[in-house]
Amino acid sequence: MSAPLPAIGGYFELELARGESEFHRRARRYQSARAALLALLRAGRPAALWLPWYICDCMLEPPAMANIPVRRYALDESLRVVDAQPDADDWLLYVNYFGICGRNVAETLRRFDPARVIVDNCQAFFDAPANCLATLYSPRKFLGVPDGGYLYSRLEAPEPDETDDGSFARCAHLLKRLGGNPEAGYADFVAADASLAGQEPKRMSRLTQTLLSRLPYSDIQARRTANFAWLHERLSEDNDFPLDPQGDEAPLCYPYRSRDACAPETLHARRIYVPRYWQSVAESKNVPAFESALAHDTLFLPCDQRMTTAQLERLLDVLLARTGRMNALRCMA
């Protein structure tokens, strides 16, 4: 069936600048990273999938849908794999936490057979795919797109026959945020995320792929790297989170743990919104103490491409208002 002729005239589409083409243009495209994982599991049929305790609940969905048993492993205080013992027919998934665990990815691939390791780069969009079984990406965690997932894999998985058509319904929060009203769009954001649950794998929508092809990736990457470095220079002395930045990473956020830090609610009251990674981990009785503490006690500060120096300073003002360190830190600006 031939493609329809392009339309001429009529009302305008959303105006988009020309970008640099898709960053992960060689990857297989799905409607979400969890759908990509589901397709991979069905194609490879491992005997079991080893997952860290410290992971989003949504990543438990693909093995359940594929009827693959899940085994769990703990992390040490440097976010490295501790007690995983995969058998010959098992797979292991390691998360590149917050986009700052590149060294741990390399160590995991040295310790375990790379042909049976999946690297979850959903929080490390700009990291190159690892030389292993598969690498996953979730662009909506870094960019203003409604959905989408990328998969690089040695394993051949059949492309989905169906293309996702739900992207239009997932754009309400993006448009409200663009209009300057993030609070009004939060319920839409939650609904958009929930709409991706329990789905069979589909091809990435044309809308999402178009949006991803119109972005200035080099600028986005540089801004995230610079913002992370700005925060680390000012907060590293009091940060108990196990950070070992390499300097060229473009992280998801800046993880911060300190007895002097304010509560998330204090930041929210000043319209500074920080996520929780992951609340269900902190609430579970089965999770090891270290992982529970990470989820409960860590602030995940924004360092994304939208942040200006003035906004970073406002964040620091609120974050450290009780410590008496602000004057010294301002001298570093």
Domain boundaries of the chain, sorted by first residue: 28-212, 217-330
The pLDDT value recorded for residue 322 is 56
Is-above-0.85 flag for pTM? yes
Residues 6+ away with beta carbon under 8 Å from 252: 98, 99, 123, 124, 125, 141, 142, 300
Q: Which superfamily does CATH assign the domain made up of 217-330 to?
A: Aspartate Aminotransferase, domain 1 (3.90.1150.10)
The pLDDT value recorded for residue 324 is 55
Per the CB < 8 A criterion, the answer to whether 129 and 27 are in contact is yes
The pLDDT value recorded for residue 2 is 60
Protein fold of 28-212? Aspartate Aminotransferase; domain 2 (3.40.640)
Per the CB < 8 A criterion, the answer to whether 40 and 151 are in contact is yes
CA–CA separation, 62 and 318 (whole Å) = 39
Per-residue pLDDT tens digits of the chain, which is 333 residues long: 566 776 655 666 677 787 778 999 999 999 999 999 999 999 999 999 999 999 999 999 999 999 999 999 999 999 999 999 999 999 999 999 999 999 999 999 999 999 999 999 999 999 999 999 999 999 999 999 999 999 999 998 888 999 999 999 999 999 999 988 899 999 999 999 999 999 999 999 999 999 999 999 999 999 999 999 999 999 999 999 988 778 789 999 999 998 877 888 999 999 999 998 998 898 888 899 999 999 989 999 999 999 999 999 999 999 887 555 554 555 555
Q: How many CB atoms lie within 10 A of CB 304?
A: 17
